[in-house]
């Protein structure tokens, strides 16, 4: 037999309050119940135990000997449960788990998350990087940074930034062909990940819908920052989000030969379960992102 059937927890809670206050009426006031409902729960517990717990007198109730022995044990048990729940809640509230793409994590969050922690010293941050779209009901996590259209059932989404892309390469590599002066010049060089769907989108926008990347050596690295690292090393031309590589451009390690930016319609979003929108740590991170990103939208 299950414990919940042997010992009705709701009835035990009602008993604990009634025993502490020595009154069914006051117990009802504290619990938001009628006196009749309190009496019913006490009777249910007495039937379960097989012994009376209260002596009922006009306008007064008092504990029986059995009730006197049971009351402190029940009170201690509820104190233990409250402490356990508080401990779990404090631990949960103390750590913010953020799921993010590797590129956003390394090129934006890594530069700003320290500020969040300085402003919220009671919240530790754990970053989980993955290209997968996590299911919050199956994967431990509080918030996620996602690339997409911003529509995920059951999740609250906040727009963070547009997702634009353009070819980028090292100046040294460009110099090997006398410079990149027009989009067709890119086809003279090795293309990093020619199977990336961004390439045909950009070439089409650049007026080269016939650009053929078929048959080129495949180089799928799994994350954009690996493509950028290969481009910095002079291994080829990568198609990247320029806003993430401003420092590399400033240092002369990368350059963007064309101002043309293309998009596949997938932008960056902050998402979390709608049901948890008022959780303290999620509110704190949402407010931080709103402050740090001018394009943030509620």
pLDDT at 137: 79
Which band of pLDDT confidence, cut at 50, 70 and 90, is reported for residue 5? very low
pLDDT at 88: 59
- Residue-wise pLDDT tens digits, 73-115: 998 888 788 766 655 554 556 799 999 988 899 889 999 999 9
Whether residue 258 contacts residue 181, with contact meaning beta carbons closer than 8 Å, is answered with no
Query: What residues contact 165, with CB distance under 8 A and at least 6 apart?
Result: 198, 202, 239, 240, 241, 242, 261, 262, 263, 264
Q: d(Cα 141, Cα 118) in Å, to the nearest integer? A: 21
Q: Range with the lowest mean pLDDT among 57-61, 88-92, 209-213, 285-289?
A: 88-92
Tokens of residue 243, six digits: 């806003």
Domains and CATH numbers, the chain: 3-91 (1.10.10.10), 92-163+265-292 (3.40.190.10), 166-250 (3.40.190.10)
First to last CA, the chain: 50
Minimal CA–CA distance to 14: which of 29, 1, 31, 2? 31
- Residue-wise pLDDT tens digits, 165-216: 999 999 999 999 999 999 999 999 999 989 889 999 999 999 998 888 887 8
pLDDT at 2: 40
Q: d(Cα 229, Cα 222) in Å, to the nearest integer? A: 12
Alpha carbon 298 to its chain centroid, in Å, reads 16
- Residue-wise pLDDT tens digits, 227-258: 999 999 999 999 999 999 999 999 999 999 99
Which band of pLDDT confidence, cut at 50, 70 and 90, is reported for residue 226? confident
pLDDT at 273: 92
pTM surpassing 0.75?
no
Minimal CA–CA distance to 189: which of 255, 236, 253, 240? 236
């Amino acid at each position: 037999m299950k414990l919940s059937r042997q010992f009705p927890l709701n009835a035990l809670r009602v008993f604990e309050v009634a025993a502490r206050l020595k009154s069914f009426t006051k117990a009802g006031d504290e619990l938001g119940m009628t006196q009749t409902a309190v009496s019913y729960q006490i009777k249910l517990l007495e039937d379960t135990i097989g012994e009376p717990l209260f002596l009922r007198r006009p306008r007064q109730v008092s504990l029986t000997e059995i009730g006197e022995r049971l009351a402190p044990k029940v009170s201690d048990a509820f104190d233990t449960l409250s402490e356990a729940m508080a401990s779990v809640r404090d631990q949960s509230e103390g750590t913010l788990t953020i799921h993010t793409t590797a590129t956003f994590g390394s090129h934006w969050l890594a530069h700003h998350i320290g500020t969040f922690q300085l402003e919220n010293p009671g919240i530790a941050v754990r970053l989980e990087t993955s290209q997968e779209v996590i299911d919050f009901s199956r994967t431990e996590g509080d918030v996620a940074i996602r690339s997409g259209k911003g529509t995920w059932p059951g999740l609250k989404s906040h727009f963070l930034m547009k997702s634009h892309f353009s070819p980028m390469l090292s100046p040294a590599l460009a110099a090997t062909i006398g410079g990149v002066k027009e989009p067709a010049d890119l086809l003279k060089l090795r293309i990093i990940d020619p199977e990336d769907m961004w390439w045909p989108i950009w070439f089409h926008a650049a007026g080269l819908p016939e650009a053929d990347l078929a048959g080129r050596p495949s180089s799928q690295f799994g994350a954009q920052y690996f493509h950028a690292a290969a481009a910095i090393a002079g291994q080829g031309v990568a198609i990247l989000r320029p806003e993430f590589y401003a420092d590399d451009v400033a240092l002369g390690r990368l350059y963007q030969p064309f101002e043309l930016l293309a998009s596949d319609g997938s932008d960056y979003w902050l998402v979390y379960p709608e049901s948890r929108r008022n959780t303290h740590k999620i509110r704190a991170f949402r407010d931080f992102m709103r402050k740090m990103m001018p394009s943030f939208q509620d």
